[in-house]
Structure 1
Amino acid sequence: MIQISGVPFQPNENWKLESIERAIIQHMLNAPILYSFYSEDEFWFEIKVRKNITKSANEMNQSQAQFTTFEYARCNPNYWQLTMEGGFLLRPDVQPADAILDIYRNSSLYAFECATAAVIIYYHATLYSIGSYLFNSLFQNLYLYSWHTDPDLGIITFYSNHFLPGDVVYINNPDFHPDTPWFRGLNAVLLNDGNFFGHGFSIRTMEQIIQILNEYRKPGSQQTAYLTNLVTRPSFNYLGSLVSQQTSRRAYKMQYPIVHHNKCSISYVHYLYYLSNGINKKDK
């Protein structure tokens, strides 16, 4: 269900919408929960960002960027500095938009794990949603590592039994084999056709993803991998407010601390646990 300014939303068949946009709107209309928006601008901005998230996920799927652990992460040194922990730090002489676009344009030079991939997809989609000028103003000093993000991306996470195209869901593999800890789970983007993109898994159905994860469990495990009800997404309302106000870079912005945990393929909730407890751990 969709409500805008307190009035039930009525789609117009004469609107010239892309198939992705129609799919997102239909998912909202069919949802057992109410999606409420203050204005049409707020509504259409969320549709645009969700559309761009699915497009960015499809583009990453078609790219040559590889899945790897933090230890073997790679990036283009013309745009990023590779840190000892396997993160990508924006070079001071490079514009943020150019660096994000290079991940897609020169994808063969890059390798990263799936949480980092989800964040890259968010940034790429946001860039195409708000334009390079505002993106460069807001996202100075980018650092790509796991779920670490700039506060202005406004990442939120919550539990729900309903997902929309553009949401990132988490598939948990509780009995992952200790020799392959990167198969502890997968962060995957729900696409408009009901399939999922997970970096390192390409585009697959949920059943196919679970089947692959189950192949990397402890010997004798009876616990299957499963789709959790965790949903992670950017704050569309907050990003939209920055666009409507054309808010440029602030004189001071509190940055989130960085937790170098070295655990690939963790959920955002898992990362928040490390963040709140100040934990820096190494896989054994």
Structure 2
Amino acid sequence: MIILTGTNQITFGEGTLTGQELTIFQKKNNSAVEYHYDSVDTLLFELNMRSQIMESAKALSTSGVYFADLTKSMANPAYWHITDQGRFKLNAGASPQEAIRDIFTNGSAYAFECSMAVIVVLYKAILESIDPRQFDRMTSDLLIFDWQSNSKLHLVDRIGNEEAITGDIIYFENPEVHPMLPWWKGENVVMIEEGLYYGHGHGLGITSAEVVITILNKYRLDGSMQSAFMTDRYVHPDFTYFAPFQGSDRKKHITVKIGDSIYVR
């Protein structure tokens, strides 16, 4: 459940949350796990940013970006240069926000693998959730690789995928992948909503867990008996860290506490 300044009695006025934000709130609030927030503003920021992660994943799925392993990565040279390791390094003097937006508007100039796609989605969601000037300040030396190497995202590790909700990053593992096809060893996905995930690799797009597993299973060792599976670990950005950097134009809400209840509108 959601615990806010000592209470779990939270009521939102009509129109305060979008339908997606309300769904996220209800999933967390109905959980047996306690999720603590220091303010209504921090909670609202997380609900919005999770929705932005979903929208960014949908946008990348239709952007025209190609799938490629690290040896065949492509990027628009106006904004990026590709390192020997296949990483995207922001060009000196380039605007981070313009470079991220270019991936979504000029997708055919880009090719990367699934873990980099997840990173791109997260950076786009952060950009849409905070003051763009703060984004440029935070990411002036932006380097895009995999989600394990991006400390700027302030990722939080969690265990128990039954708690995963919109905006969380989940990994499907293929433990008996054919050794000649290492790029099929797993798939990083963004949870879109209950039962749907965005995976950049191998043309998955937005699909179900069953489809992800079925596709991975096609590339196992001959005679393999162990299916691919969704791992129990998932990650997401530290929303509390980013909340103070949201823009001044963000809609303000009225919060009233009466007894043990909090009302937001």
Normalised by the size of structure 2, how large is the TM-score?
0.88
Number of equivalences? 245
What SS does the aligned partner of 1:157 have? strand
What SS does the aligned partner of 1:53 have? helix
Distance in 1 separating the partners of 2:66 and 2:80: 17
Q: Which amino acid aligns with 1:35?
A: Y
- The corresponding residue for 1:248 is none
Q: Which amino acid aligns with 1:216?
A: Y
- The corresponding residue for 2:259 is none
Deviation string 1:182-216 (CA, Å, 9 cap, x unpaired) is 11111111112430001121111111111111111
- The corresponding residue for 1:176 is 177
- The corresponding residue for 1:84 is 84
Classify 1:242/1:78 alpha carbon distance in 2 versus 1 (closer, same or farther; 3 Å): same
- Structure of greater relative contact order (alpha carbons < 8 Å, 6+ residues apart): 2
- The corresponding residue for 2:199 is 198
- The corresponding residue for 1:233 is 236
Distance in 2 separating the partners of 1:148 and 1:77: 25
Match runs of 1:74-223 below 5 Å: 74-147=74-147, 149-161=149-161, 162-200=163-201, 201-223=204-226
- Structure (1 or 2) with the greater strand fraction: 2
What SS does the aligned partner of 2:44 have? helix
Q: Which amino acid aligns with 1:121?
A: V
Classify 1:44/1:149 alpha carbon distance in 2 versus 1 (closer, same or farther; 3 Å): farther
Partners of 2:173 and 2:231 within 8 A in 1: yes
Larger deviation, residues 39-48 vs 16-25: 16-25
What SS does the aligned partner of 1:124 have? helix
Partners of 2:176 and 2:226 within 8 A in 1: yes
Deviation string 1:49-77 (CA, Å, 9 cap, x unpaired) is 11100110111111100111000000000
Partners of 2:130 and 2:245 within 8 A in 1: no
Larger deviation, residues 24-33 vs 38-47: 24-33
Normalised by the size of structure 1, how large is the TM-score?
0.82
Shift of 1:125: 0.1
Classify 1:241/1:160 alpha carbon distance in 2 versus 1 (closer, same or farther; 3 Å): farther
Supply the RMSD in Å over aligned alpha carbons. 1.7
Q: Which amino acid aligns with 1:222?
A: M
Distance in 2 separating the partners of 1:9 and 1:167: 25
- Confirm whether residue 64 of structure 1 aligns to residue 96 of structure 2: no
Distance in 2 separating the partners of 1:133 and 1:242: 9
Shift of 1:244: 8.8
Distance in 1 separating the partners of 2:158 and 2:193: 21
Partners of 1:74 and 1:109 within 8 A in 2: yes
Distance in 2 separating the partners of 1:189 and 1:139: 22
Partners of 1:119 and 1:149 within 8 A in 2: no
